[in-house]
Amino acid sequence: MKWRRLNGNKIELPIKDAVEKTIIKEMEAGYKLKVCIGTDSQVRGNVVEFATVIVFLREKKGGFMFIHTYKKEQTMSIRERMILEVAKSVEVAYSLCDLLDKYHVGLEVHADINTDPHFQSNVALKEAMGYILGMGFEFKAKPEAFASSSCADKVV
């Protein structure tokens, strides 16, 4: 899985090593960190493009992110697409959770799902919330889910 920074620079290390190196560097600089992970997707014909982001928030000092984009050639329902987004975010969160615990870094998993039942994505809200909370992660949906609905949305 290839990751990059927003400026396009590739992250050459395995993602877990890159995250650990980043946490150490940021903590040595005196920052208190929180990590938010989210995924968004866009449908273009029969291709679904996904972007997963790891957002590092420096308490009261801004933040930055690591990005992974990929495509899947498949027609899918809105519910299936939303659950696939959540599954990708959970997969990344799960791979990093022991590392984040080691350094006492907070973690949130953001779902690009609207809490308003008038929006199509709402069909997957209960399943997504159950999945994320069931894995032991803190869950955020729109409008608080900025990692997926703003950050990932800008790069997909």
What does the domain layout of the chain look like in residue ranges?
Answer: 3-155
Q: Which has the minimum average pLDDT: 25-29, 116-120, 134-138, 142-146?
A: 116-120
Other Cβ atoms less than 10 A from the Cβ of 141: the count is 21
Return the C-alpha torsion angle 115, 116, 117, 120, nearest 10: -80
pLDDT above 90: percentage of residues in the chain: 89
Q: What are the tens digits of pLDDT across the range 84-139?
A: 999 999 999 999 999 999 999 999 999 999 898 888 888 899 999 999 999 999 99
Measured between alpha carbons, how far is residue 56 from residues 6, 8, 66, 92, 111 in Å?
A: 12, 17, 8, 14, 17
Q: What are the tens digits of pLDDT across the range 46-69?
A: 899 999 999 999 999 999 999 999
pLDDT bracket for residue 1 (50, 70, 90): confident
Determine the pLDDT at residue 71.
95
Q: Is 127 exposed, middle or buried (0-12, 13-18, 19+ CB in 10 A)?
A: middle
Determine the pLDDT at residue 19.
98
β-pairing, 63-73 with 3-5?
antiparallel
Name the DSSP class of 13.
Answer: S
> Which of the two residues, 119 and 38, has the higher pLDDT score?
38
Q: What are the tens digits of pLDDT across the range 96-105?
A: 999 999 999 9
C-alpha span between 154 and 125 (Å, rounded):
22
C-alpha span between 156 and 106 (Å, rounded):
25
End-to-end Cα distance, the chain:
16
Determine the pLDDT at residue 97.
96
* Domain boundaries 3-155, corresponding CATH code: 3.30.420
Q: Is 64 exposed, middle or buried (0-12, 13-18, 19+ CB in 10 A)?
A: middle
Residue 8 structure tokens: 């396009």
pLDDT above 70: percentage of residues in the chain: 100
